[in-house]
Every structure is written in structure tokens, then in C-alpha cells.
Amino acid sequence: MPKQGMAAIRRPQLIEATMQAIDSVGFSRANVQLISSYAGVTPAIINHYFGGKDGLIEATMRQVLRSLGASVRQQLAACHPDDVLGRIQAIVCGNFDQEQISPKAVKTWLAFWALAMHEPQLHRLQRVNEQRLLSHLRLELKRVFEPERASFMAQAIAALIDGIWLRGALNPNGVDVALAQHVIKDYLEHQLPVAVLKQHQAFQATAHAL
């Protein structure tokens, strides 16, 4: 049930403009005037389509989360269901997708993370996302480890992902995807049984042969 009329145009347009504004001046200075100017409209439009600035902020966060979810799902889809190492790496790739590590996305994301600590609505959204990452990782790890160990390692990998990402947010060179992949691959190679690594190499080889 796609919104009809101008809403289908204006809503995504204003969400994009919100991220642009946060990217260029930071959340605290991203006021409705600036946001609407990026979208080429007047501030009143925000109230018309989102009921107010708060509504736009929430919609923007939902968009960021949806985009991340889609990114991970896409990477997982291109991966054999039994290739445990490959699937964990796919989750990592999804989190460090070109779109997800753009300065615009990174700054918006971090601004929301800080905001979520005091806005119950945003806090709930962020929690769901956090749990989803853990649950994705746990699902794969349970194929190799007992539940408790799988849960433990899932938290470690999630921390590595978020930690590298967070440090990248403050780094002038941006998020270092290569480092992220290297660090997590190294971690898994020291933790996973040799059989799982071999199996992954086999899947890689057959995929390459296609």
C-alpha cells in the first residue's frame, strides 16, 4: 500500500534531506529551515507530511534501519545456507556496505544512537536492530558451537562490528571496510574449527567455478 500523491515523492525526499543536513552541520544545527531547503521546499511541508520535526526524525531513523536490514539480507541471500564462515562474513559486509558507511549514513546513525538514550521511541527502534544483529550471528554460530558459546561469540563479533564502525565515524579517512573484514576474518580463523574453514574454502571454490 504505497502512499499516493505527492507523499510518495516528498517523504523520501525530506528523509534524504534530513540526512544531508545532519551530514553537513550536525544534528543539533539541522533545523527545519535547512532540511527543507535541501529538499527545495518550505519548512511547513515537514508538518504537512510528517506531523512535525519529530515525525521526520523518526521516519529518517526507520529508513536508516530499513536500509541496513536490506543490505544484510541481500548479502546473506548471495551466500550458501551451509557456509557458516561465509554467512558471518556476509553479515559483516552488509553492515559495511558502501551505502552504510557513507559519511551521511554514519553521522546520521551516530546522532540517532546518542539521541536514542533519551527518546523512548528511538530507543525501541535501536534495540530491535541491535538484537537482530546478535540473533543473525547467533543463528550461524549455533551450527558450530553450543548455544552458550555461540551467544558469547555473537556478542564479540557484534562488538567488533560496532566498535570498528564507531571508531571510523571519528576517523578523517572514514570507516575502514578492509580493516573490519580483516579483523573479523582473523578472529573467526582463530575461533572456528578447521573443518568449518575448509568447508568455506570449498564453497568459495565452487562459487568461483561458476
Footprint on this chain of a copy of itself (rule: CB under 8 A): 25-29, 107, 110-111, 113-119, 123, 126-127, 130, 152, 155-156, 158-164, 166-167, 169-170, 179, 182-183, 186-187, 190-191
Residue 183 and residue 40: Cα distance in Å, rounded? 43
C-alpha cell at 65: 534501519
* Phi then psi dihedrals of residue 101, to 5 deg: -100, 10
| Shortest reach from residue 7's CB to a copy of itself, in Å | 28
User: In this structure, what C-alpha cell is assigned to residue 27?
Assistant: 544534528
Of the two residues 57 and 192, which places its CB atom closer to DNA in the complex? 57
For residue 104, the minimal CB distance to DNA (Å) is 18
The secondary structure of residue 27, as a DSSP letter, is: G
The DSSP secondary-structure symbol of 8 reads H
- Which residues inside 7-36 make contact with DNA, applying CB under 7 A? 7, 10, 29, 31-33
CB of 22 to a copy of itself, least distance (A): 9
Q: Give 114's Cβ-side CA count (13 Å radius).
A: 9
Footprint of DNA (CB under 7 A)? 5-7, 10, 29, 31-33, 40-48, 52-54
